Amino acid sequence: MAQNLESYAAAGVLKVSPLRLARAENDHAWRAPAAELLPSDCELDRKNPRTEEDITHLPPEQLAEHILAKERRIMEITGNVKALLTRKS
């Protein structure tokens, strides 16, 4: 893509910043081929190809049970810490 922009810029058809041509791809910035953009009228609302799979949401009852189990574990650990601090005092 950068080569195409450079050729248009060199021909004086397009003014492109040198920073734009040198921009590196990363987790939040990527390039999409024009052939993929043109069929959707250049719609740029695209999914990031570097992201992980979408999160699968649990049913509310199962989610609530997971939260309660974690809360119980937190209370257990907090109780153990409190007991240790009480013994040292």
pLDDT, tens digit, 9 for 90 and up, residues 18-65: 666 667 777 777 777 778 777 888 777 777 777 777 677 889 999 999
Residues 6+ apart with CB under 8 A from 29: 23
What is the CB-side half-sphere exposure of residue 21 using CA atoms within 13 A?
Answer: 14
- Residue where the block lists tokens 């993929």: 36
Listed residue (26, 43, 45) closest to 34, CA to CA? 43
Q: What is the pLDDT of residue 9?
A: 54
Does 69 score more than 80 pLDDT? yes
Listed residue (28, 45, 31) closest to 3, CA to CA? 31
* CA 6, chain centre distance (Å): 30
